[in-house]
């Protein structure tokens, strides 16, 4: 089977009973990052490539929060979706005695059930370990390497990355055409905003999305936004961990979805938790996107807007190398001043030590950063797409196994 060579290519063949099945295993570790990536991958395999997918997840409730419409449409009496292009299997202990699929993905190093591993020889022809995103240089040498396992099979490591010789980024075939329509059709934006009850920003204003973890720098950021004389500023904060910091910053006991605060030149909207496709549109709507974690980072890159990434902190401080690697990998075409401003605000936001100068230099660089973000989107779109790489590699392994 041929893979999509670049994000946004033609759709693959429709779902058929003869299509080999995929098993994706996911443990919900923190927030919605792991399950968000796994669910997105399952959808791309099912709808773009016509592949039957079983998604094994240890927290079905988290997935139901992420994609309530899917659960409402396909759920059975036990509330578990089945008989759909994607079958959701509760990953219980012990695991259900289900025969392994020809293609197996363990997301982010989760260990497959031992009895499942024992049944894999003779049935599974491609076994992937989908790693966390990284743009660090060592990834290019480790992507696609094999590791022999105790059951006699070899597991292949897959690294999502902005680097051109690694695994690429997940991207639906429909994403970029949908983005273009949304960006250029005011009526479509208005219909979307009305349906999801999201107030649109002023036409000539500055709009920001703030999606992150708790952050002590938020009061200063809100103060800087209030201090802007022009243009008018619209700030969207979805429900999540940042709301407690936001409430303190605006001297409110609590902030809830649907609430709007007028703070001088700044209008603050508190939004409900949005499904993945609607979160994409919120990213497209805004001029600047503050995001957290990995799935939101990738979606912000596809939005083609300047972003500030709040990376999940690690005890060994390895997250700083990971943050720097991302910034370095996609900022080499910027002027020295804009590059320094963008690096600095990302560092300051993660250090929770944002200063007025950090913000002002970033705003001064915003015109160049906006053009650069769109160029970056187009560059990444031309590179390998992650699901395409998985499908191509899996079918090559299947062909070798059947010859």
* Bridging pattern class, strands 146-148 and 154-158: antiparallel
Q: Could you confirm whether 34 is annotated as catalytic?
A: yes
Contacts of 1 (CB under 8 A, 6+ apart): 12, 13, 49, 391, 392, 395
Residues whose CB is less than 8 angstroms from the CB of residue 237 and which lie 6 or more positions away in sequence, other chains included: 210, 211, 243, 246, 255, 268, 269, 270, 271
Strand partners, 86: 53
Question: What are the phi and psi torsion angles at 86 (to 5°)?
Answer: -120, 125
- 3-class DSSP state of 58: coil
329 HSE (CA, 13 A, CB side):
25
Q: 65 with 56: CB under 8 angstroms?
A: no
Q: Which of 356, 158, 185, 170 is nearest to 284 (CA)?
A: 185
Q: In sequence order, what DSSP letters do the residues of 335-358 get, joined into one string?
A: -HHHHHHHHHHHHHHHHT---HHH
User: Strand pairing partners for 207?
Assistant: 234
Return the SS3 of 104: strand
Token look-up 């479509």 returns 188
Task: Single out the catalytic residue among 23, 34, 172, 368.
Answer: 34
Strands of 137-276 (E only): list them.
146-148, 154-158, 206-210, 233-238, 260-263, 266-271
Cα distance between residue 166 and residue 219, in whole Å: 39
Residue with tokens 């309530």: 68
> First-to-last CA distance in the chain?
15
Helical H segments across 44-135, by residue range: 60-66, 68-74, 114-119
The single residue of 48, 136, 224, 294 carrying the catalytic annotation is: 294
Task: Report the C-alpha gap between 335 and 87 in whole angstroms.
Answer: 48
Q: Which two tokens stand for residue 59?
A: 């927290």
Asked about 368 being catalytic, the answer comes back as no
Query: Could you tell me the two tokens for 125?
Result: 């022809």
Q: So which residues are the catalytic ones?
A: 34, 294
């Amino acid at each position: 089977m041929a893979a999509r060579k670049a994000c946004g290519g033609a759709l693959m063949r429709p779902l058929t009973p003869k299509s080999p099945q995929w098993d994706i295993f996911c443990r919900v570790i923190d927030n919605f990052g792991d399950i968000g990536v796994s669910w997105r991958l399952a959808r791309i395999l099912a709808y773009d490539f016509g592949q039957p997918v079983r998604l094994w997840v240890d927290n079905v409730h988290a997935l139901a929060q992420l994609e309530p419409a899917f659960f409402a449409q396909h759920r059975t009496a036990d509330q578990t979706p089945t008989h759909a292009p994607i079958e959701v299997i509760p990953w219980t202990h012990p695991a259900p005695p289900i025969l392994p699929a020809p293609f197996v993905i363990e997301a982010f190093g989760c260990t497959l059930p031992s009895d499942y591993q024992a049944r894999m020889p003779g049935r599974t022809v491609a076994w992937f370990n989908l790693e966390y995103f990284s743009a660090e240089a060592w990834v290019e040498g480790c992507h696609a390497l094999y590791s022999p396992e105790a059951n006699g099979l070899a597991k292949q490591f897959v690294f999502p990355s902005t680097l051109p010789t690694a695994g690429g980024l997940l991207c639906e075939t429909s994403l970029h055409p949908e983005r273009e329509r949304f960006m250029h059709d005011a009526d479509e934006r208005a219909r979307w905003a009305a349906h999801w009850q999201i107030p649109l920003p002023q036409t000539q204003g500055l709009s920001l999305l703030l999606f992150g973890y708790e952050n002590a720098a938020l009061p200063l950021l809100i103060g800087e936004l209030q201090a802007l004389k022009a243009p008018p500023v619209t700030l969207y904060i979805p429900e999540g961990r940042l709301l407690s910091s936001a409430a303190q910053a605006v001297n409110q006991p609590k902030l809830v979805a649907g609430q709007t605060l007028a703070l001088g030149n700044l209008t603050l909207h508190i939004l409900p938790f949005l499904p993945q496709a609607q979160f994409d549109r919120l990213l497209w709507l805004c001029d600047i996107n503050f995001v957290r974690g990995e799935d939101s980072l990738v979606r912000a890159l596809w939005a083609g807007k300047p972003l500030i990434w709040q990376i999940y902190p690690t005890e060994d401080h390895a997250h700083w190398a990971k943050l720097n690697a991302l910034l370095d990998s996609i900022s080499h075409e910027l002027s020295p001043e804009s590059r320094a401003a963008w690096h600095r605000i990302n560092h300051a936001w993660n250090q929770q030590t944002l200063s007025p100068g950090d913000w002002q230099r970033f705003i001064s660089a915003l015109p160049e950063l906006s053009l650069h973000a769109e160029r970056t989107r187009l560059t990444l779109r031309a590179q390998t797409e992650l699901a395409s790489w998985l499908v191509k590699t899996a079918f090559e392994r299947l062909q070798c196994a059947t010859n």
